[in-house]
Amino acid sequence: MSEFHLTEDQQDCLQELINIAMGQASDQLARYLDTFVYLKVPNIESVDAKELMHTLSQQKNTMAVVSQGFFGYEGIRGEALLVYQEEDSGRIADLLGYEPDELSQDEQLIDISSILTTTFLNVFARQIDNQMSYNAPKLLPSAKDNLSEHLQQMPFSWDLALKVNINYQVTDYSFNCNMILLIPETAITNIKDVLDRILAEF
């Protein structure tokens, strides 16, 4: 097994931490948006650069992708990609309570992305006694080549990444989007150290 892959105990620990964070984050989002927010149990896997680009290119009917970097203590860092479909683009203003023409669609996408990303990751960080900071969210062209170029411009390698895929569903507005958290190879060892510390406490 590669040193960058999680053991079964580490995977279970991470899954449980994410499940707890999802429960709390969905409650916070529901109160903020004044509607029910459902988060599906996430898929966690290790992927290499080729698999990662294939996964991103398979996002059907993708209308837009918003990317936002995050980083915390103990060398934990990564990138959050919020992937939106064409049919959801017209529902964001209603969801956020904006008046018609109050903000452009691009600004609405950036707003909802920042809310979804920071709410979940702040709750997750508290589970591991950490604190997250964020880069400004950036709206990306959804084409595979543009996503690949965006990731390659970052100051760390995506030869191997830990990928967490979370689906948000807001039933009252028939709104769905995917959040893909990417932890680069350089940070996976740091994540493993945090998980090992938590496991040792039980």
Tell me, what amino acid is at 106? D
DSSP single-letter state for residue 52: H
Least confident of 29-43, 115-129, 150-164: 150-164
Per residue in 135-155, pLDDT (tens digit) is 999 988 655 556 667 666 766
Per residue in 72-110, pLDDT (tens digit) is 988 899 999 888 876 676 778 788 888 877 888 888 889
Per residue in 147-182, pLDDT (tens digit) is 667 666 766 667 788 888 888 888 777 788 888 899
Give CA–CA dist 20/23, Å, rounded.
Answer: 5
Our separate counts of H helices and E strands in the chain read 6, 8
Q: Are 139 and 109 in contact (CB under 8 A)?
A: yes
Whether pLDDT at 2 is above 50 = no
**Per-residue confidence (pLDDT) for residue 13, from 0 to 100:** 92
pTM of the predicted model as reported, rounded to 2 decimal places: 0.86
User: Quick one: average pLDDT of 40-58?
Assistant: 76
**Per-residue confidence (pLDDT) for residue 135, from 0 to 100:** 93
Instruction: Sketch out the chain's domains with CATH numbers.
Output: 8-200 (3.40.1550.10)
Q: Smallest Cα–Cα separation from 121: which of 45, 176, 69, 160?
A: 69
Tell me what the pLDDT averaged over the chain comes to.
Answer: 83
Give backbone dihedrals phi and psi of 126, rounded to 5 degrees, phi first: -65, -30
| DSSP labels, 24-57 | HHHHHHHHHHTS-EEEPPPEEEEEEHHHHHHHHH
Radius of gyration of the chain, Cα coordinates, nearest whole angstrom: 17
DSSP single-letter state for residue 32: H
Query: Which neighbouring-strand residues pair with 179?
Result: 82, 166
**Per-residue confidence (pLDDT) for residue 62, from 0 to 100:** 67
